[in-house]
Chain A
Amino acid sequence: SQQGEEDPQALSIQEGENATMNCSYKTSINNLQWYRQNSGRGLVHLILIRSNEREKHSGRLRVTLDTSKKSSSLLITASRAADTASYFCATARSNYKLTFGKGTLLTVNP
């Protein structure tokens, strides 16, 4: 069954605005990861947050994890046109297998 579910499915914002994407999952996890995929390309790893962490930052990215609600959010601040891509959350259990969500298509308009 699909583990991660991103919300919203699509998001369109103006350059400079913040973008927030959410991810919900169903089972216990070892860690949760966020990836970016430009159209027709491979995945770029953005950030990993472990099950015992609540918040993590990397540059303009901020990820939160609420294991009690089985949810995570990815915030991209001061968005740029180059941030236009699909964003996926992926959950990992102890065997390192990743289960991907359906993704959020982010469009940042110049």
Chain B
Amino acid sequence: GAVVSQHPSWVICKSGTSVKIECRSLDFQATTMFWYRQFPKQSLMLMATSNEGSKATYEQGVEKDKFLINHASLTLSTLTVTSAHPEDSSFYICSAEPGTSGTDTQYFGPGTRLTVL
């Protein structure tokens, strides 16, 4: 159980286009989802916390108008990278928090590799 999927697993796009990444919790409901980005050989940096039915909370330094997050249901959150540029190329990973009382574990998706040409 506790599987999180991401789609697509990789995407290549031209500079200036927008890319949408989906994060789904397959067998549990996630009131909270998190979005991270990871540059090669570096750690994961939290970008934003996504709560179902409310606005996402962005970490300091993350442009909310560039990285649009929508948490439309208890099993789906989307991250849209708008007007992507080569510096946005990165590995984007989501995680989902089941929200069960006493459960602190986040379950991570397999990641989406974005390459902007």
Contact = CB atoms under 8 A, between A and B. Distances in A.
Interface of A: 2, 30-31, 33, 35, 40-45, 48, 50, 88, 92, 96-103
Contacts of A97: 34, 46, 49
B113 A88 contact: no
A15 B34 CA distance: 35
Dominant secondary structure of chain A at its interface with chain B: strand
A42 B108 CA distance: 6
B54 to A, nearest CB: 15
Contacts, number: 52
Given A43-B95, A45-B107, A96-B104, 15 more contacts: A30-B104, A33-B105, A35-B108, A40-B113, A43-B44, A44-B108, A48-B105, A92-B104, A96-B32, A96-B97, A96-B106, A98-B34, A99-B46, A101-B43, A102-B43
B105 A98 contact: no
Interface of B: 6, 32, 34, 36, 42-46, 49, 91, 93, 95, 97, 104-111, 113
Contacts of A2: 43
A33 B95 CA distance: 14
Contacts of A45: 105-108
B93 A43 contact: yes
B69 to A, nearest CB: 15
A43 B46 CA distance: 14
Given A30-B104, A33-B105, A96-B97, A41 B43 contact: no
